[in-house]
Amino acid sequence: MILWVEQMDDDTAVSAQDEEEDESSLTARIDELEGKLVEMQILSEERLDQLMRCRADLDNLMKRSVREKEDTVKYASEKLVQKLLPVLDSLEQAAKHDEGQKVLHMQLLGVLFTEGLVPIEAVGKKFDPYRHEALFQVKKDDLEEDIVAEEIQKGYLFNSRVIRFSKVAVNKPLKAEGCK
């Protein structure tokens, strides 16, 4: 009977040792799985971030594409209008001398205005390098400095975009010098 007790003690000791090994093995396995879970969560967050960025890029691309298409439609006839500007200039000069030409000039202007052509105001306005091209300077004491004194050739906007600058003369009056 003593043998049996000794054998039981050995079995219990082996069983306790197996449990400790199983427990440490399971703890190691749990730690390993928790580490993988953290890695997968980080990877998932990175992928979600990439997805959101791709979606934003796609949205921006679509918006830009729509804008570019609208601009293409809006400015499609710009080249034609630019080619017609010298004709318009000639008609304007001729209209000063003949009433029939004046009617034709006004008709052409009407058509071009409906397409988006607008003359740039120049005379009496402050010189704007984004709308005016200064050809020379004049000295007129009755005008302030940097005011357009004369328009040599009309400038035009087409749908708010400058397609030809106004060619102008800009006032630069003489400054009165003090007596010494």
3-state SS of 63-114 is HHHHHHHHHHHHCCCHHHHHHHHHHHHHHHHHHCCCHHHHHHHHHHHHHHHH
Distance between CA atoms of residues 63 and 67, nearest Å = 6
Residue 7, pLDDT above cutoff 80: no
What CATH number does residue 156 fall under? Answer: 2.30.22.10
Question: Domain of 151?
Answer: 119-174
Identify whether 159 is part of a domain: yes
Identify whether 7 is part of a domain: no
**Residues sharing a CB contact under 8 Å with residue 146, sequence separation 6 or more, in sequence order:** 126, 127, 170, 171, 172
Residue 35, pLDDT above cutoff 60: yes
Q: Are 155 and 166 in contact (CB under 8 A)?
A: yes
Identify whether 150 is part of a domain: yes
pLDDT at 165: 96
DSSP label of 119: E
Helices 99-114 and 78-95, interaxial angle, to 10°?
Answer: 160
Q: What percentage of the chain reaches a pLDDT higher than 90?
A: 46
Q: Which two tokens stand for residue 68?
A: 């570019």
pLDDT at 53: 95
Average pLDDT over every residue of 64-68: 92
Residue 99, pLDDT above cutoff 90: no
Instruction: Tell me what the pLDDT averaged over the chain comes to.
Output: 83
Q: Which two tokens stand for residue 121?
A: 């105001």
Identify whether 143 is part of a domain: yes
Domain count of the chain? 1
Identify whether 144 is part of a domain: yes
Identify whether 133 is part of a domain: yes
pLDDT at 101: 78
Distance between CA atoms of residues 168 and 180, nearest Å = 36
Q: Give per-residue pLDDT as tens, 139-166.
A: 988 888 999 999 999 999 998 899 999 9
